[in-house]
A and B are shown apart, each in its own frame.
Chain A
Amino acid sequence: MADLKDIKADVVVDARGTYCPGPLMELIKEMRQQPVGAVIEVISGDAGSAKDVPEWLKKVNQEFLGVLEENNYWRIFAKKTKEM
């Protein structure tokens, strides 16, 4: 797998400072709207997202590419591998 830092996402959602609907809901929305093969990056200021997102991806059998911890925010990468 490519290094996370080298991944260029097809869609980037910067959810920092946006409390509603929240990072996981933004990811779910994008996973449903983007085509198969799309890489989605969600930037979250909430540490909980780094745990919630992979859990949800596992439940729905989509690919979790990883998370990069930056200075007080997290870059979370996912890939849509099948229709949903």
Chain B
Amino acid sequence: MSKKVVIVGGGVGGTIIANLLAKKMRQEVKKGDIAIDVVSDDPIHFYQPGLLYMLIGLKNQEELTRDERKLLDPMVGLHLHPAVKIDKDKNEVHLKNGVILNYDILVIATGSKPAPEVIPGLREGGNWFYELDACLKLRHELMNFKGGKIVLAIGLPHKCPVAPLEVTFMLDDWFRQKGIRDKVEYTYTYPIGRLHGLEPVANFAAKTFPERNIKSETLFNMKEVDANKKTITSLEGVTLKYDLLITIPPHKGAQVIEDSGLGQNGFIPTDRYTLKMEGSNNVYVVGDTTNLPISKAGSTAHFESDIIVENIASEIRDGLTPFRYDGKVFCFIETSLTKGTYIMFDYNNPPNIVPPSSLIHWFKLTYNKVYWLTPMGIL
């Protein structure tokens, strides 16, 4: 009887898994021994890291989008209706259009998104770039910005943990190019007592900020924003005045996860090695959707996907799931408009930061163009 693999989520993790699995199990798929279906609420696949560049006119929207159907292997089914319920006891995924998909193996790749409503006043007073419409609004603000106080404030949890630093470094350089850097007072805030969660990255920022005249306020966790007075106050009791508030809002997972009782705030308790949902033998969780205390980043989803695909194929063929995720994460870090660096780490090896270079920056720009090969399962 045909094995049914259902993947809920058409972002980077869900799409890679569908394509790699279709490729790896081509013969079984052709014979009808396995069926692979993706459920997505969006016909468009969006390259989210590109928003950082679109923000200051280095990318346009068309470059960041592709038709999800065209990215998917032709032998993978696509259901463009949101999942409204996942019934893990009955092995069913319920779609908004009333269709119920049965599965033998389920992959949950529903991701996370900004939830500014969690912080009073943040939606009204803050600007962010993690979503298309918000990015376009902030871009408009930046293009008309003539000078004043910019405050960057960060909520937890959030995806792409190096993006707050990248946007800071890139804006610093961008204001210099525009000739108004001396009119901009830029304050970077961070939730803990150093400038980044990763110690080598924090040390790099601590060395670089004074050279670039970037101010900082650590141990700053957003409590509330007063959009009329243009102030932001932290849980720790510090109030900062701003002319332009840039924020990385706290994130939430998908509503269907909460509604299905699978995890608080849309994040699912997950085994850090097998990537199976805790207490389940046939449900895998990938990327931002896990509750693992690791970086919510595209590369995390990518490396996890390789493991999940191997285990699904192995389970169907041999009844075994021997592959284990080692916690690998890789992130580029843009340190200006012309240089970049990167970090790589896993559960056993701490990160180390290399000196920024033009070469790494150009590598990142190249990756931005060839990203599409990643969800296609080629790169």
**Could you tell me which A residues sit within 8 Å of B by CB distance?**
13-15, 17-26, 28-29, 32-33, 52, 55-56, 59-60, 84
- Chain B interface SS verdict (over half): loop
Q: Is the CB of B347 within 8 A of A18?
A: yes
6 contacting pairs across A/B (C-beta < 8 A) = A17-B347, A21-B293, A22-B197, A26-B293, A33-B264, A56-B193
Q: How far is the CA of A17 from the CA of B192 in the complex (A)?
A: 18
Instruction: Decide: B327 and A17 in contact? CB cutoff 8 A.
Output: yes
Q: Beyond the given A20-B161, A20-B295, A21-B293, could you list 13 further A-B residue pairs with CB under 8 A, ordered by the A residue number?
A: A13-B293, A15-B293, A17-B348, A20-B198, A21-B156, A21-B157, A24-B192, A24-B193, A25-B197, A26-B293, A28-B192, A56-B219, A84-B235
| With A22-B197, A28-B191, A33-B264: A60-B156 Cβ-Cβ less than 8 Å | no
Chain B neighbourhood of A52, CB < 8 A: 192-193
> Least Cβ distance of B293 to chain A in Å?
5
Q: Does B292 contact A (CB under 8 A)?
A: yes
Q: How far is the CB of A51 from chain B (nearest CB, A)?
A: 10
Q: How far is the CB of A16 from chain B (nearest CB, A)?
A: 8
**A81 → chain B closest CB, angstroms:** 13
Shortest Cβ distance from A23 into B: residue: B293
Q: How far is B192's CA from A23's CA once the two chains are assembled, in angstroms? A: 10
Q: Which of A18, A33, A60 contacts B293 (CB 8 A)?
A: A18
Can you list, as one digit per residue, whether each of B338-366 has a CB less than 8 Å from chain A (1) or not (0)? Answer: 00000001011011000000000000000
Contacts of B191 in A (CB 8 A): 24-25, 28
The A/B interface has a contact count, at CB < 8 Å, of 73
Distance (whole angstroms) from the CB of A49 to the closest CB of chain B: 10
The CA of A10 and the CA of B321, in the complex, are separated in Å by 30
B241-268: which residues lie under 8 A (CB-CB) from chain A? 250, 264-265
B236 touching A21 by the CB < 8 A rule? Answer: no
Give chain B nearest CB distance to A60 CB in angstroms.
Answer: 5
Decide if B71 is an interface residue (CB 8 Å cutoff).
Answer: no
Establish whether residues A19 and B350, one from each chain, have CB atoms under 8 Å apart when the complex forms: yes
B38 at the A interface (CB under 8 A): no
Contact of B157 among A18, A29, A84 (CB under 8 A): A29
Report if B335 contacts A (CB, 8 A): no
In the bound complex, what is the Cα–Cα distance between A84 and B120 (angstroms)?
A: 11
How far does the alpha carbon of A23 sit from the alpha carbon of B345 in the complex, in Å?
Answer: 16
| Closest partner residue, chain A, to B264 (CB atom) | A33
Q: Which residues from A are CB-within-8-Å of B235?
A: 59-60, 84
Contact of A21 among B161, B265, B347, B350 (CB under 8 A): B161
B277 lies within 8 A of chain A by Cβ: no
Say how far A40's CB is from chain B's closest CB, in angstroms.
12
B205 at the interface (CB under 8 A from A): no
Known: A17-B327, A33-B265, A59-B236. A25 touches B219 (CB 8 A): no
Most buried by A among B293, B294, B329: B293
Q: Does B336 sit within 8 A of A, measured CB to CB?
A: no
Contact between chains at B236 and A60 (CB < 8 Å): yes
Tell me, yes or no, whether B15 is within 8 Å of chain A by CB: no
Whether A19 lies near B219 (C-beta < 8 A) is no
Give the chain B neighbours of A22 by CB distance below 8 A: 192, 197-198
Nearest-neighbor residue (CB-CB) of A59 within chain B:
B236
A21-B295 in contact (CB<8A)? yes
Among B156, B264, B329, contact of A20 (Cβ-Cβ < 8 Å): B329
What is the bound-complex CA distance between A55 and B193, given in angstroms?
A: 10
A13: which B residues are within 8 A, CB to CB?
A: 293
Whether a CB of chain A sits under 8 angstroms from the CB of B221 is yes
- Inter-chain contact A84/B198, CB cutoff 8 Å: no
